[in-house]
Amino acid sequence: DRLVVYLTNSTLKIIYSVLRLICFYAIEKVCYAQVISTCTFIDSDMKNAVIGNNRQKANLIVLGAVPRLLYLLQQSSSSLELRTECAVVLGSLSMGTENNIKSLVDCHIIPALLQGLLCSDLIFIEACLRCLRTIFISPVTPVQLLYTDPTVIPHLMSLLSRSQHTQEYITQIFAHCCKTPEHQTVLFNHGAIQNIAPLLISPSYKVRMQALKCFSVLAYENAQVSMTLVNVLVDGEQLSQVFVRMMQRDKPIEMQLTAAKCLTYMCRAGAIRTDDNCIVLKTLPCLVRMCSKERLLEERVEGAETLAYLMEPDIELQRIASVTDHLVSMLADYFKYPSSVSAITDIKRLDHDLKHAHELRQAAFKLYASLGSNDEDIRKKITETENMMDRIVSGLSESSIKVRLAAVRCLHSLSRSVQQLRTSFHDHAVWKPLMKLLQNAPDEVLVMASSTLCNLLLEFSPSKEPILESGVIELLCSLTQSDSPALRVNGIWALMNMAFQADQKVKVEIVQALGTEQLFRLLSDPDTNVLMKTLGLLRNLLSTRPHIDQIMSSHGKQIMQAVTLILEGEHSIEVKEQTLCILANIADGNTAKELIMTNDDMLQKIKYYMGHSNVKLQLAATFCISNLIWNEEDGSQERQDKLREMGFVDILHKLTQASDPNLCDRAKTAMQQYLA
Amino acid sequence: KWGRHWMCPVKTTLLQPSKAAKMAELGAGSLLTGDPAFNYQEHELNERLKRLYPAVNEEETPLPRSWSPKDKYSYIGLSQNNLRVHYKGHGKNHKDAASVRATHPIPAACGIYYFEVKIVSKGRDGYMGIGLSAQGDNMNRLPGWDKHSYGYHGDDGHSFCSSGTGQPYGPTFTTGDVIGCCVNLINNTCFYTKNGHSLGNKLSALSFCPCLSFQPNLYPTVGLQTPGEIVDANFGQQPFVFDIEDYMSEWRAKIHSMIARFPIGERLGDWQAVLQNMVSSYLVHHGYCATAMTFARATETMIQEDQTSIKNRQRIQKLVLAGRVGEAIDATQQLYPGLLEHDPNLLFMLKCRQFVEMVNGTDSEVRCFSARSPKSQDSYPGSPNLSPRHGATNAHLHNTGADSPTCSNGVTPTNKNKSHNKYTGVSSASASSSPSSSPSSVNYSESNSTDSTKSQPHSATSNQETSDSEMEIEAEHYSNGVTESSTRIMNGTYKHQEILQADDNSVDDSCSSRQLCGGNQAATERMIQFGRELQALSEQLCRQYGKNATHKKMLQDAFSLLAYSDPWNCPVGQQLDPMQREAICSALNSAILESQNLPKQPPLMLALGQATECVQLMAKVRSGSCSFARVDNFLH
C-alpha cells in the first residue's frame, strides 16, 4: 500500500530503488547468506538515489529502510564494505530535513553508530562519525545522547589521533554537544584540552576551526577550564598566543571571531586579566571590527554580544571600546535593518535583513547597556546618538522578547545617570512603555524593568510624579510577593525610593497597599537585601514627625514587635543599624515616643547597643536616646528622669570619652539636654 | 672606527651598495656623536622600515626618518636627533601656533603609512595637533587648518580637515598618550590611533576623517601652540604601540584576493589560448625544442617557428653558454648569413667574449691546444661543420645543465655546484626584472664573483671588526661591490694589494689552479694573436662608425685580464664568470629571432616586464595598492 502511495509522487529512480529494496527484504528473509553479495550493489544504488534529494530520503525512511540499514550496519558478519555503505547511506539520509533526523534518532541510530566506532577499520569509523556529526549538529537531536554511555567520550578522545577526518568530525560533535557545565566537566575530565590543543595547529583549516570552537564552548563561564587553558602550550607556544595569532586581520573572519570568543571567555572566567595586552590590544579591537558594517549580519550580532560580555565588568575596557573605531555610532547602524533600499530592490535581501533585524537590535542594545554601565561620559555619548532614546522606547514594546529584554537592559544601564534621568528620560517619557512592559512580562524582563523603575523613582527624577499617578504602587506591592528574590528586592526597593521624602498621602497609600502582614513577612525574608530594603522603606515612611505619629498610631504595635524581633535575631550589623535608625525615627515622634518609653525591654536593648563594640550601632542607639530626652518637647523631664534611673546617664558620660569623634559629639549633645 | 663598525651591519642587510653609501651619508651625524645606542636605533629603524614598506625605493622616494630642521616654524625647537619637538614661542593665541614637517613626504609605494607621536608634556594648554600637511603649507599653523592639511587635536579631540573648524572625532589626549596617524593610500583615507587603539575613520552618515582624494605629497606633521608642549616622534625607531602590521596584513589579503578573483571576462576559451601561447612561445624562444613540441601536441596548438630553426638557435645558445663563442660565431655565420655582418656591435661583443673565453681556456680555439680536457676535445673536433658527432656534444652539454638548460659549465669541478646554484638564483632575479640589465642583478653578480674567487675568506675576515689595517679596509670596500667606474679608477692601488693577496693565498691556489688559456703556450699565443685581431676590428669599427665608448670599455676590460697573474681573482675577474655569458647569449638569440621576423622577446617576459613597469607606474601616480600587488609576490 505504501508503495502505491509513493508511486504517485516519486521519480522513476526511486521506484526502482524501492522495488529493489523490497525484493531485497523478500529475498533476505528467505536466505540472508545468498543475497549478501548483491547487497553492496543494492546499497550503493540506494546511495546514489538518495544523495541530494530530500523527498527520496523521506520516502526511504517511511518505507522502513533505516532499521534495515542499521541491522546490516550492526551485523559483524556483514562485509566491511557493506557496513561502510550502510553508514554512508545513513549519513546521506541524515543530511535531509529535521524530520528525517528525528526519525533516524527515533530508530536509535545514535547507539548503533557509536557502537560502530568500536570497529577497527578507519574508513568505516569515518563514515559513522560523519553521520553522527550530521545528526548531532542538528538542533532536534538531544545532546544528552552523547553522554548516556560513559565509555563514549573516552573512546572519541582516543579516535582523535586517527585521521584528520575523525578530528574534524569529533571536534565538531564536541563543539555542538557541550551545552551545560556538566558537559564541560565531562569533556574536561576526559582530557579534552590536552587532546584538542594540538589540533589548533593542524594543517587542515577545518580541524583548526572546529578545535577552536570546542575551546570556546569549553571555556564559557568555566573557571576550571579557563585556568587550565592559560597554562597549555601548543608547540611551545602559550595557548593565548595561539588565539591571538588566529585573530590576525588576514585570517578568516570566522576564525578571528571564534578566537576572540575564546579569549573573552577565558578573561571573564578570571584566567586572563582584563588589562592584559591580549585583551586590551587584540581581543577588544578584534571584536569591535566584527561590529563594522563590512561584516555579515550574523558576525555583527555575535561580535557585539561577545564584546558586551567581555567588557561588562570592567570600566577601563568600556572606556577603550567607547572610543575605538567610533563604536557608539557604528552600533546605530544596527537599527537600520531592513533598510529601505533592500525592501525595494531585492526580495531575498529583504528576507535576510528581516530575519536578522531583531537579532541585530537586541545585540546593539546589549552592547550599549554594557558600554554605559559605569561611565557617565559614555552614557551621555550613547543618549546623544541619533534617535537613541526613541529606539529604546520602541524597543521596549517590540514583539520579540529578546529585543524587549535587551532594550530594558540598555535603559537600566542609562538610568544610572542622574543627568539622563533628569533630561532625556523625562523628555522621552520612557516611563510609559516601561510601565506597560511591567504588566505581565516574563520574570527576566520584569527584573530589569523593575530595577530601572527603581532608578526612575529616585526623588530627583522628574518621572517620579507621573509614575506615581499611573498607579504603580499596586504593581510594586505585587512584585514583593514574587517567588523570585530579585523581583522582591526590586519591588521593595522601588517602594523605598518612592517613600523617600514623600507626601503623607503616598506613604499611607503604600502602607495600605502593602499591608502590614506583607510588611512583616518581608521583614523575615530570607534574603538580606529584601530585609534591608524593607527596613529602608520603614525608615523612609517614618520620617517627619506628623508622619511618624500617624503611622505609629495605627501600626505601632506591629512595628515595635518587628523591631524587637530583628534586634533579638541573628542579623548583620547593617540590618541592626538600620533597625536602630528606625527606632531613632520613632523616638522623634511626639506620641510615638511613648511606645518606646513604656517598653522597658526595648530600653534595655537600646542600652545594650550603646555599649556595643560596633561604633555604628552605638551611634544609632545614642541617636535614639538623644531623641527621647530632647528638651523642648512635652514630657521631656519625665523621660529624662526615667532614663537616668535606668543608668543611661552613666553610659552617655562614658561615651563622651569615646575615641570616635561622631559618637563623642552625639553623646555630648545628649548630655547637654540634662544640663539645660 | 665607528664608521666601519657601523657599516658592517648595513652591508649585510642591504645588498645595494648605493644604498649603503646613502646610509653612510645619513649616519654622518652619528659618527660625530659616536653614540652606540643611536646606531642601534638607526639599525632598528632601517630594518623596520624595510619590513613595513618593502615596495618603497628609497633612492627615489626616501621615507621620513626625523623632523626637518629646515621645514619648521621658528617657535619650534628640535632635539634628540630631530625626533623631539618642543614649543618655544609665547603661546598667547592661535597666531602663535607652530608646526614642523618630517624630512620627506610619504611615498605612495608605502601603500599604508604609519607614524606615532608620544606626548611627553602637554605644556600649558595641551593644544597639540598631529597629522599631515603638504609642502609649502604655512608653518605658523596647526596641522588641519589649511588646505591639504589634516590634524587630530589634543585639546578637544576634534579632527581638522583643511578647515579652521574641526569635527568631533575622538577622545582628547594629553601627557603620556601615544597618538598615531595612519595614511591609507589604497582607499585614500586616514585615521588616528590613541595608545594603540584605532579611533576609526569613515562612517556612514558623517565623515569624521578626510578622504585624501587627490593630494600633493603629504608630510607627517606635528603642531604645538602653548609653552611647555613637548612631543616625541616615532617613525619606526621603536616598535609601534598600534599593531600596524596587522592592519597592513588585512589590506594585503584584501588586495591579493581581489587579484585572485579578478574577472577575466566571458571568453574563457580565449583566455586559455592566450596562456598556452605564452607558455609555448617562451619554450620556443629559449629553444626548448622537444618540450615545446610536446606542449604543442598536448594542447593542440601550432608553433610559428620551424623546428629546425629552433634547434639551430638552441645549438648556438648552448655553444655560447658553454663558452665556445668562436664556434657559436661560426655557426651563426653559417646558418644565418649576413646577420652578424649587419650587426657589427653584436659581432664585436661576441668577439670580446670570445677573447675572454680564451683567457678562460674554454673557447675551442684555445681548447684544442689544451691537454687538460682531452675528453671534450674528443667530443668536439673543432670543426664548425654540422657533423653527426655534434649530437653527442649536445647531449653532453645537456647533461651538465639538466636542471636549467642555460646553465654553463662550471669553472672548476670543485666550484661547479656552487656556481650552478648562484647562476640559477641570478637568472631568476634577472628574469623578474625587465630584461635591460637591472642594477640589482649586476651588483649581485659582482659580489658573487668575489665570493667565488679566492678572496672570499679574506674579505670575510675583513667583515668582522677585528681586523684593523688600512689595507683590509680597502679590501672590504672592494668586496662591497663598487661600481665599475670606480673600480677602474682605483685599479692602480688595488693591483699591488691583489697580487699580495694572491701570494698569501698561493697555497690554496696551487691545488685547483686555473691557468691562462688552460696553461698551454700555443694557446696563449693564439690568444695574443686573437687579441690583436680584436684590436684591429675595434679600430676598423671606430673608423667606420665613429668612437664607441662601450666598445672601448669592453675591450679594455677584456685586455685587463692579462694584467693579472690570476685573472680569476682580480678586479675585472668577474668577466670570466660563466654566467656573464648569459647576456650575450640572449642578445644573440634575440638578434637571430629578429632577423627571422619573430619577436625578440617572449610574450611571457614582456607581460612580466609590463606588470613590473605597471606597478612602478602605480607608485608614481600615487596609487597605494601597488605596495601589496608586487610582481615578486606572485612569482614563486
- State whether B253 and A250 contact (CB < 8 Å): yes
Report how far residue B343's alpha carbon sits from residue B580's, in angstroms, rounded to the nearest whole number: 21
Q: Is A527 left (phi over 0), alpha (psi -120 to 50) or beta?
A: beta
The 3-state secondary structure of B136-174 reads: CCCCCCCCCCCCCCEEEECCCCEEEECCCCCEECCCCCC
Tell me, yes or no, if B249 comes closer than 8 A to chain A by beta carbon: yes
At what angle are helices B268-285 and B289-299 packed, to 10 degrees? 160
- State whether A326 and B197 contact (CB < 8 Å): no
> pLDDT tens, A540-588?
888 888 888 888 888 888 888 888 888 888 888 888 888 888 888 888 8
| String of DSSP letters for A316-376 | HHHHHHHHGGGHHHHHHGGG--S-HHHHHH-HHHHHHHHHHHHHHHHHHHHHHHHHTTT-H
What residues of B are in contact with residue A281 (Cβ under 8 Å)?
Answer: 196-197, 243
Report how far residue B573's alpha carbon sits from residue B565's, in angstroms, rounded to the nearest whole number: 11
Q: Which of A66-80, A187-201, B54-68 has the lowest mean pLDDT?
A: A66-80
- State whether A323 and B199 contact (CB < 8 Å): yes
Cα A580 to Cα A443, A501, A604, B319: the distances in Å are: 34, 20, 13, 113
Report how far residue A106's alpha carbon sits from residue A102's, in angstroms, rounded to the nearest whole number: 6
pLDDT at position A199:
95
Q: Say if residues B96 and B90 touch (Cβ distance below 8 Å).
A: yes
Report how far residue A23's alpha carbon sits from residue A40's, in angstroms, rounded to the nearest whole number: 14
Is residue A406 one of the residues assigned to a domain?
Answer: no
| String of DSSP letters for A103-155 | HHHHTTHHHHHHHHTTSS-HHHHHHHHHHHHHHHTSTTS-GGGGTSSTTHHHH
Q: Say if residues B635 and B615 touch (Cβ distance below 8 Å).
A: no
Minimal CA separation from B183 to chain A, in Å:
15
User: Residue A517: exposed, middle, or buried by beta-carbon count in 10 A (0-12, 13-18, 19+)?
Assistant: exposed
CA-based radius of gyration for chain A: 35
Report how far residue A409's alpha carbon sits from residue A371's, in angstroms, rounded to the nearest whole number: 11
pLDDT at position B131:
92
* pLDDT tops 80 at residue B467: no
pLDDT at position B391:
33
Is residue A635 one of the residues assigned to a domain?
Answer: yes
Report how far residue B328's alpha carbon sits from residue B321's, in angstroms, rounded to the nearest whole number: 9
Q: What is the mean pLDDT of residues B106-130?
A: 92
User: Residue A174: exposed, middle, or buried by beta-carbon count in 10 A (0-12, 13-18, 19+)?
Assistant: buried
pLDDT at position B63:
94
Quote the number of domains for chain A. Answer: 1
- Give Cβ neighbours of residue B434 (< 8 Å, ≥ 6 apart): B609, B612, B613
pLDDT at position A251:
94
Q: What is the pTM of this model?
A: 0.72
Of B206, B208, B250, the CB nearest to A250: B250
Minimal CA separation from A324 to chain B, in Å:
5
- The ipTM estimated for the assembled molecules is 0.77
Minimal CA separation from B159 to chain A, in Å:
13
User: Which CATH number applies to B37-245?
Assistant: 2.60.120.920
Q: Where are the domains of chain B?
A: 37-245, 272-370+516-628
Cell numbers 575564546 correspond to A262
Residue A595: domain span: 551-675
3-state secondary structure of A90: helix
Report how far residue B161's alpha carbon sits from residue B202's, in angstroms, rounded to the nearest whole number: 13
Tell me, yes or no, if A294 comes closer than 8 A to chain B by beta carbon: no
What residues of B are in contact with residue A329 (Cβ under 8 Å)?
Answer: 203, 205-206
Report how far residue B349's alpha carbon sits from residue B538's, in angstroms, rounded to the nearest whole number: 10
Torsion of CA B73, B77, B80, B81, to 10 degrees: 30
Considering only alpha carbons, which residue of chain B is nearest residue A285?
B197
Tell me, yes or no, if B168 comes closer than 8 A to chain A by beta carbon: no
What residues of B are in contact with residue A307 (Cβ under 8 Å)?
Answer: none
Report how far residue B101's alpha carbon sits from residue B136's, in angstroms, rounded to the nearest whole number: 10
| String of DSSP letters for B47-62 | HHHHHH-TT--TTTSP
Of A281, A320, A325, the CB nearest to B200: A325
Cell numbers 530592490 correspond to A345
Q: Say if residues B230 and B120 touch (Cβ distance below 8 Å).
A: yes
* pLDDT tops 70 at residue A39: no
Report how far residue B382's alpha carbon sits from residue B370's, in angstroms, rounded to the nearest whole number: 12
Q: Is A385 left (phi over 0), alpha (psi -120 to 50) or beta?
A: beta
Read off the pLDDT band of B564 (50, 70, 90): confident
Q: Say if residues A662 and A626 touch (Cβ distance below 8 Å).
A: no
Minimal CA separation from A210 to chain B, in Å:
23
Minimal CA separation from A265 to chain B, in Å:
22
> pLDDT tens, A635-662?
777 888 888 888 888 888 888 888 888 8
Q: In terms of DSSP H, where are the helices of A459-614?
A: 464-469, 472-479, 485-499, 504-514, 516-523, 528-541, 545-568, 573-588, 593-597, 600-610
Is residue A627 one of the residues assigned to a domain?
Answer: yes
Report how far residue A117's alpha carbon sits from residue A156's, in angstroms, rounded to the nearest whole number: 8
What residues of B are in contact with residue A246 (Cβ under 8 Å)?
Answer: none
- In B200-246, DSSP assigns E strands to 218-224, 229-234
- State whether B246 and A248 contact (CB < 8 Å): yes
Kindly state the cell numbers that stand for A5: 502511495
- State whether A324 and B206 contact (CB < 8 Å): no
Report how far residue A327's alpha carbon sits from residue A347's, in angstroms, rounded to the nearest whole number: 30
Minimal CA separation from B125 to chain A, in Å:
22
Cα B274 to Cα A154, B282, B285, B294, B607: the distances in Å are: 57, 12, 16, 18, 12
Q: What is the mean pLDDT of chain A?
A: 84
Cell numbers 603620556 correspond to B176
Tell me, yes or no, if A111 comes closer than 8 A to chain B by beta carbon: no
Torsion of CA A196, A201, A203, A209, to 10 degrees: 60
Tell me, yes or no, if A37 comes closer than 8 A to chain B by beta carbon: no
Read off the pLDDT band of A198 (50, 70, 90): very high
What residues of A are in contact with residue B203 (Cβ under 8 Å)?
Answer: 326, 329-330
Cα B543 to Cα B355, B547, B548, B556: the distances in Å are: 22, 8, 10, 18
* Whether residue A142 has a cis bond before it, omega within 30° of 0: no
The DSSP secondary-structure symbol of A558 reads H
> pLDDT tens, A369-410?
999 999 999 999 998 888 888 999 888 888 888 999 999 999
Report how far residue A391's alpha carbon sits from residue A428's, in angstroms, rounded to the nearest whole number: 11
Q: Say if residues A494 and A474 touch (Cβ distance below 8 Å).
A: no
pLDDT at position A52:
59
Of A284, A323, A386, the CB nearest to B170: A323
- State whether B199 and A333 contact (CB < 8 Å): no
Report how far residue A538's alpha carbon sits from residue A541's, in angstroms, rounded to the nearest whole number: 5
- Give Cβ neighbours of residue A219 (< 8 Å, ≥ 6 apart): A225, A226, A229, A262, A265, A266, A269, A271
Considering only alpha carbons, which residue of chain B is nearest residue A250?
B250
Report how far residue A209's alpha carbon sits from residue B380's, in angstroms, rounded to the nearest whole number: 64
What residues of A are in contact with residue B170 (Cβ under 8 Å)?
Answer: 323
- State whether B205 and A249 contact (CB < 8 Å): no
Minimal CA separation from B81 to chain A, in Å:
30
Report how far residue A418's alpha carbon sits from residue A446's, in angstroms, rounded to the nearest whole number: 22
Backbone angles phi, psi at B82, to 5 degrees: 60, 30
Q: Say if residues A584 and A542 touch (Cβ distance below 8 Å).
A: no
- State whether B199 and A326 contact (CB < 8 Å): yes
Of A250, A284, A330, the CB nearest to B252: A250
- State whether A323 and B253 contact (CB < 8 Å): no
Percent of residues, chain B, with pLDDT higher than 70: 67
Cα B547 to Cα A638, B484, B538, B559: the distances in Å are: 137, 20, 9, 18
What residues of A are in contact with residue B192 (Cβ under 8 Å)?
Answer: none
Minimal CA separation from A384 to chain B, in Å:
13
- State whether B197 and A330 contact (CB < 8 Å): no
pLDDT at position A28:
41
Tell me, yes or no, if A250 comes closer than 8 A to chain B by beta carbon: yes
What residues of B are in contact with residue A285 (Cβ under 8 Å)?
Answer: 197-198
Q: What is the mean pLDDT of residues B378-404?
A: 36
Q: Which of A307, A326, A387 to mutate to test the interface with B (most CBs of B within 10 A)?
A: A326
First vs last Cα of chain A: how many Å apart? Answer: 110
Residue type, B199: L
Q: Which of A174-188, B162-176, B494-508 has the lowest mean pLDDT?
A: B494-508
Tell me, yes or no, if A179 comes closer than 8 A to chain B by beta carbon: no
Of B194, B200, B246, the CB nearest to A249: B246
3-state secondary structure of B371: coil
User: Residue B597: exposed, middle, or buried by beta-carbon count in 10 A (0-12, 13-18, 19+)?
Assistant: exposed
Higher-confidence residue: B499 or A343?
A343
The DSSP secondary-structure symbol of B480 reads T
- State whether B243 and A330 contact (CB < 8 Å): no
Considering only alpha carbons, which residue of chain A is nearest residue B254?
A250
Kindly state the cell numbers that stand for A413: 544601564
Considering only alpha carbons, which residue of chain B is nearest residue A386?
B205
Strand partners, B150: B132, B161
Interface of B with A in 479-498 (CB under 8 A): none
* pLDDT tops 50 at residue B455: no
Q: Which of B359-363, B419-423, B518-522 has the lowest mean pLDDT?
A: B419-423
Of A323, A327, A329, the CB nearest to B194: A323
pLDDT at position B17:
36
- State whether A249 and B200 contact (CB < 8 Å): no
Tell me, yes or no, if A517 comes closer than 8 A to chain B by beta carbon: no
Tell me, yes or no, if B171 comes closer than 8 A to chain A by beta carbon: yes
Q: Which of A46-60, A215-229, B591-605 has the lowest mean pLDDT?
A: A46-60
Tell me, yes or no, if A340 comes closer than 8 A to chain B by beta carbon: no
Strand order in the sheet with B67-72: B67-72, B98-102, B218-224, B129-134, B150-153, B158-161, B167-168
Q: Which of A260-274, A334-348, A640-654, B391-405 has the lowest mean pLDDT?
A: B391-405
Count of alpha carbons within 13 Å of A30, Cβ hemisphere only? 7
Cβ-count burial A281-313 (b if 16+ within 10 Å, e if not): bbbbbbbbbbbbeebebebbbbbbbbbbbbbbe
Q: Say if residues B17 and B450 touch (Cβ distance below 8 Å).
A: no
